[in-house]
Amino acid sequence: MRPKTDFSHQTYPVDPLELITSFSIEMGSITELGALSECAIQALCRAAGSTRGALYLLDREHECYRRSSVVGLNEGQEFPSSLPTTHALPQYLTNAARSAHRQDLRDQEQTDLGSSLAEMLSPFNAIYALPHMSRSRLMAFSLLSESSFPSQDRNSVQPLLNALAQAATNAIDTLILYDDLHRSHLLMKRTDRLKSLETIAGGFAHEIRNPLTSIKTFIQLAPERKDDPDFIREFSKIVLDDVYRIERLIEEILDYARYMEPKLTEEDINDIVSSCLYFIDVKADSHGVKIEKELAQDLPRVMLDRQQLKQVFLNLFLNALDAMSARGGTLRVRTTKRDRPGGKSWVQIETSDTGHGIQETNLEHIFDPFFTTKHESGEHEGTGLGLTIVHQIIQEHHGEIRVTSAVDKGTTFVISLPAIPE
C-alpha cells in the first residue's frame, strides 16, 4: 500500500501539530515496510524543508542498512544504496542515539566520537542524520539534505524531526515484529508438516507394495505369455493404472512437503479425509486401532488449501492414534452438511477417538504453542505445535474448531468450514 498523503509537496514552514497528526494517522493505516518508509522520509523532508532525503532500513540477514526510500529530484544519486552495519555513520548514530546536524558533528570533530563524521555526511549531501532506535538497536536511519529554506530555525526544527522520527520508529518496529511473527508461523507450519511426513512415508511404502507386485508379476510372465494378446492387453492396462497410482502418490507427497503460499481451490473434503486416512492406515493397524469413516454423500464443496487441510487432519488423526497407543481403540471420522440460520451451509468434520482423553485442566491449553504432555508419557516426544497449527489453519479458512473430552473415554474434535454456496 502506498502512502495516501504526499508530505513532500506542501508549503513551508509547516504547522508541526498538523504534520505530526496527519503523519501519525497515515502511519497507522500502512501495513507494508516500503510504503511506511516512503511516508516517513517524505514527512521528515517536509519538516526539515529538505528537497532530498533517504531512509535506510536494517537488513539483518546481510548485516547492512539498505536504502529503502528516497525523496528528491536526482533520485538516490547522492545516497549510496546500502551501508554495512560496521560503517562509522550507523555506528555513530547507535552510540549517540539522537539526531545529529552536520554542524554538531563538525563541532565534535576533535572529540573521540568526532572522527570526521561531518565529512562522512558530505558525500551524501546530508545535513541531518536521524536514528530510528528501538530497544537500543538502530532499526533504521534517515538522511536529509540541506534545507531549501536557509532562514529556518534549527532549534524549532530539530524537536519536530525527533518527534516524527520516533513515530516512524514505532511504526517500523511494529511492522518488523509483525513480519517476524508471520515468518515464525510459516516456519512452525513447515516444521510440523515435515514431522507428519514420516507417517506419510510409512503409508507410502506400504501403499506401493501392491502395485509393485503386479508390475513385477507382469514383467516375469511377459516373456512366456508374449503371444497371448488377451493377457498382454488386460495386464498392461492394470500395470499402467498401477504406475499412474504410484505417480499420483509421489505427487501427493511432494506437494505436501513442498512449501507453498496458501492456494485456495474448490475441494471435496471427503476426498481429503480419505487420502489422510489412507496414509495413517498402516500406523493405525500397528496400534490396534480400527478406523471407521462415515462420509456424507451430499457434502458441498469448500474453498480451501488442500495441503493445509491435510496437515490439519493428519495432526488430529496422529494425536488420536497416540492417545490410543496403549490399548488400541476406534478412530471414527464423520463428515456432515450443516445448514445454519441465514441459509448458509457449513461442512462439519468430526474426529472421535476412544483414547485416554484430556484432563480438564489441560483442555484450555491444548491449542497453545508448545503445550504437550508427550514428554511425561511413554509416547514419542511431542513439539506441542500440532494443534496450534490446526487452530491457525482453521482460523485462516474462516472456520471453527471445538473439542470435548472425557478422561479414559476419549476425545472429539469438531471442525466446521463454510461451504461454497450452491
Ligand X SMILES: Nc1ncnc2c1ncn2[C@@H]1O[C@H](COP(=O)(O)OP(=O)(O)OP(=O)(O)O)[C@@H](O)[C@H]1O
Q: What are the residues binding ligand X (CB under 6 A)?
A: 315, 319-320, 323, 353, 355-358, 366, 371-374, 382-388, 411
- Residue number, 18 or 364, with CB nearest to ligand X: 364
**Contact window for Mg ion (CB under 5 A) among 24-32, 141-149, 177-185, 313-321:** 313-321
- Residue number, 158 or 315, with CB nearest to Mg ion: 315
- C-alpha to C-alpha distance for 36 and 164, rounded to whole angstroms: 13
Partner whose footprint covers residue 371, from Mg ion, ligand X, none (CB < 5 to 8 Å by kind)? ligand X
Contacts of residue 21, defined as CB under 8 A and 6 or more positions apart, other chains included, come to none
Ramachandran quadrant class, 97 (left: phi over 0; alpha: psi -120 to 50; beta: rest): left
- C-alpha to C-alpha distance for 72 and 77, rounded to whole angstroms: 9
Contacts of residue 127, defined as CB under 8 A and 6 or more positions apart, other chains included, come to 48, 50, 101, 102, 121, 144, 145, 146, 147
- Residue number, 131 or 384, with CB nearest to Mg ion: 384
Residue showing the smallest CB distance to Mg ion in the complex: 386
Residue ranges of alpha helices (H) inside 226-268 are 229-257
- C-alpha to C-alpha distance for 38 and 227, rounded to whole angstroms: 77
Partner whose footprint covers residue 355, from Mg ion, ligand X, none (CB < 5 to 8 Å by kind)? ligand X
Contacts of residue 38, defined as CB under 8 A and 6 or more positions apart, other chains included, come to 2, 3, 55, 68, 69
- C-alpha to C-alpha distance for 92 and 115, rounded to whole angstroms: 10
- Least distance to Mg ion from the beta carbon of 270, Å? 23
- Residue number, 319 or 335, with CB nearest to Mg ion: 319
Answer yes or no: are the C-beta atoms of 215 and 235 closer than 8 Å.
no
Q: Does 319 bind Mg ion (CB under 5 A)?
A: yes
Question: Beta strands of 43-107 (E only): which ranges?
Answer: 53-59, 64-71, 82-84, 100-101
- C-alpha to C-alpha distance for 414 and 174, rounded to whole angstroms: 35
Contacts of residue 287, defined as CB under 8 A and 6 or more positions apart, other chains included, come to 321, 324, 325, 328
Cα torsion 39, 41, 43, 44 to 10°: value is: 160
**Contact window for Mg ion (CB under 5 A) among 152-160, 249-257, 270-278, 380-388:** 380-388
**Contact window for Mg ion (CB under 5 A) among 113-121, 149-157, 238-246, 383-391:** 383-391
**Contact window for Mg ion (CB under 5 A) among 184-192, 228-236, 276-284, 315-323:** 315-323
Partner whose footprint covers residue 320, from Mg ion, ligand X, none (CB < 5 to 8 Å by kind)? ligand X
What are the angstrom distances between the C-alpha of 338 and each of 46, 222, 269, 341, 349?
58, 53, 14, 10, 10
Partner whose footprint covers residue 416, from ligand X, Mg ion, none (CB < 5 to 8 Å by kind)? none
- Least distance to Mg ion from the beta carbon of 319, Å? 4
Q: Does 203 bind Mg ion (CB under 5 A)?
A: no
- Residue number, 19 or 277, with CB nearest to ligand X: 277
Q: Does 199 bind Mg ion (CB under 5 A)?
A: no
- Least distance to ligand X from the beta carbon of 113, Å? 51
Q: Which residues pair with 71 in a beta bridge?
A: 53
- Residue number, 319 or 392, with CB nearest to Mg ion: 319
The CA-based angle 139-143-149, given to 5 degrees, is 145
- Residue number, 49 or 355, with CB nearest to Mg ion: 355
- Least distance to Mg ion from the beta carbon of 113, Å? 55
- Residue number, 158 or 319, with CB nearest to ligand X: 319
What are the angstrom distances between the C-alpha of 226 and each of 11, 58, 215, 239, 240?
91, 70, 15, 15, 17
What would the x/- binding string for Mg ion be over residues 384 to 403, using CB under 5 A?
--x-----------------
- Least distance to ligand X from the beta carbon of 106, Å? 60
- Least distance to ligand X from the beta carbon of 406, Å? 10
- C-alpha to C-alpha distance for 361 and 5, rounded to whole angstroms: 52
Partner whose footprint covers residue 358, from ligand X, Mg ion, none (CB < 5 to 8 Å by kind)? ligand X
- Least distance to Mg ion from the beta carbon of 387, Å? 6
- Residue number, 103 or 191, with CB nearest to ligand X: 191
Answer yes or no: are the C-beta atoms of 182 and 83 closer than 8 Å.
no
Partner whose footprint covers residue 384, from ligand X, Mg ion, none (CB < 5 to 8 Å by kind)? ligand X
**Helix (H/G/I), strand (E/B), else coil: 14:** coil
- Residue number, 211 or 355, with CB nearest to ligand X: 355
How is residue 261 written as a grid cell?
503460499
Partner whose footprint covers residue 391, from Mg ion, ligand X, none (CB < 5 to 8 Å by kind)? none
- Least distance to ligand X from the beta carbon of 317, Å? 9
State the residues that interact with Mg ion by CB under 5 A.
319, 386
